Amino acid sequence: MWNEDCHRHKGRVAIVTGAASGIGRATAIRLASEGATVVLADMQGDKLEAAATEITSKGGIASGMPCNIAIEAEVKRLVEHALSKHGKLDILANVAGVSSRHDPIYTASLEEFNRIASINLAGTFLCIKHASAAMKERRYGRIVNVSSIASFRTGAKGNAAYSASKGGVKAMTHQLVLDLSEFGITVNAVAPGVIQTPMTAGGGIERLNARAKLIPLGRVGQPEDIAVAIAFLASEEAAFITGQMLTVDGGMTSVVYEAA
Ligand SMILES: NC(=O)c1ccc[n+]([C@@H]2O[C@H](COP(=O)([O-])OP(=O)(O)OC[C@H]3O[C@@H](n4cnc5c(N)ncnc54)[C@H](O)[C@@H]3O)[C@@H](O)[C@H]2O)c1
């Protein structure tokens, strides 16, 4: 959602991971529309370029940088790219992530557990490590992680690896206030509920519509619903908010059951 009425990110430089698709793409577009210079990072090169081109065609400043966040050398190169091209780094939005195969715990493989953890948890850790080293020098930074309602509730069997990875992101968000606050860096997280993206497209629109019945606001979320929350936590207005996780789920996790 292009937001020309707000310029709160003007002059800021942001990295958005997972920016080729879904929530990451919407976040990159939102931050750029509000004035940020955005480096879009993702493993999907073609889609990455398309997202960056969409932003520049609307007058925003953006470039794409292929990056696998699970590989430290690539993350280091991503941050170095932002610094050499734009001179600083103000915002990191850690959106890249993968869902897991839904194998029950008694047959699940360690390989699959490690694959999910290496991207969702270790990848987020690596991005924060290298971004915060750069932010620390200028004593300013906004880091926004993407966890999930799966970090504190469940709605699917066979989701242990994914839930654990997102629980790790939540725990790391709380912990990092002690590492980073003295450098003026805030660290927060967003916990999306059910959001309509390629990640949730698997079961088709019928499956999403069935989920909508469980959501008090009566619909599944759109990537922009999460992008606006990330853009807020990445802004000056959120200067005194750190170590928090904001749930954006249309009310879903507030409901235990609805009495007849
Ligand atoms: N869609 C939902 O309902 C939902 C709910 C809760 C949390 N989330 C989280 O939101 C984030 C975005 O998900 P989405 O729904 O937009 O999915 P998506 O599949 O549309 O986008 C994820 C993006 O991350 C990229 N990516 C995956 N592994 C990567 C890696 N190693 N390095 C760099 N990029 C990589 C993918 O290429 C893709 O472009 C994820 O962290 C996901 O776990 C999504």
Ligand 1 mean position, distance from CA 22 (Å): 7
Residue 104 sits in a domain whose CATH number is 3.40.50.720
Which residues' Cβ are closer than 6 Å to ligand 1?
17-18, 20-24, 42-44, 67-70, 95-98, 119, 123, 146, 148, 192, 194-195, 197-200
Ligand 1 mean position, distance from CA 18 (Å): 6
Q: Is residue 6 part of a domain?
A: no
Identify the residue whose tokens are 């955005």: 38
Catalytic residue among 106, 140, 162, 257: 162
For 35, the 3-state DSSP assignment is coil
For ligand 1, atom 40, the nearest C-alpha belongs to: 97
Q: Is residue 121 part of a domain?
A: yes
For 38, the 3-state DSSP assignment is strand
Ligand 1 mean position, distance from CA 28 (Å): 13
Q: Is residue 40 part of a domain?
A: yes
Residue 4 has a pLDDT of 77
Domain count, the chain: 1
Structure tokens at 62: 């953006």
Contact present, 78 and 93 (Cβ < 8 Å) = no
Looking at the CA of residue 48, tell me the nearest atom of ligand 1.
Answer: 39
Cα 19 to Cα 26, 51, 92, 163, distances in angstroms? 8, 7, 12, 22
Residue 203 has a pLDDT of 81
For ligand 1, atom 7, the nearest C-alpha belongs to: 148
Q: How much is the average pLDDT of 98-104?
A: 95
Q: What is the sign, positive or negative, of the torsion defined by CA atoms of 163, 164, 168, 170? A: positive
Q: Is residue 260 part of a domain?
A: no
Ligand 1 mean position, distance from CA 21 (Å): 7
Q: How much is the average pLDDT of 150-168?
A: 97
Going by C-alpha positions, the residue among 168, 94, 174 that lies closest to residue 131 is: 94
For 136, the 3-state DSSP assignment is helix
Residue 117 amino acid letter: A
Whether 1 has a pLDDT exceeding 80, the answer reads no
Looking at the CA of residue 196, tell me the nearest atom of ligand 1.
Answer: 1
**pLDDT tens digits for range 22-62:** 999 999 999 999 999 999 999 999 999 999 999 999 999 99
Q: Is residue 125 part of a domain?
A: yes
For ligand 1, atom 19, the nearest C-alpha belongs to: 199
Whether 204 has a pLDDT exceeding 90, the answer reads no
Domain region containing 64: 13-251
Instruction: Give the angle subtended at the CA of 100 by the CAs of 209 and 39, to the nearest 5°.
Output: 90
Q: How much is the average pLDDT of 116-142?
A: 98
Contact present, 77 and 113 (Cβ < 8 Å) = no
Distance CA 166, CA 173 (A): 11
Q: Where are the alpha helices (DSSP H) in the chain?
A: 22-33, 45-57, 72-86, 110-116, 122-138, 160-175, 177-180, 204-212, 223-233
Q: Is residue 3 part of a domain?
A: no
Q: Is residue 61 part of a domain?
A: yes
For ligand 1, atom 42, the nearest C-alpha belongs to: 97
Whether 124 has a pLDDT exceeding 80, the answer reads yes
162 carries an active-site annotation: yes
State pTM to two decimals: 0.98
Q: Is residue 65 part of a domain?
A: yes
Q: In what order do the strands lie in the sheet with 141-146?
A: 61-66, 37-42, 13-17, 91-94, 141-146, 185-192, 245-248
For ligand 1, atom 26, the nearest C-alpha belongs to: 96
Ligand 1 mean position, distance from CA 170 (Å): 16
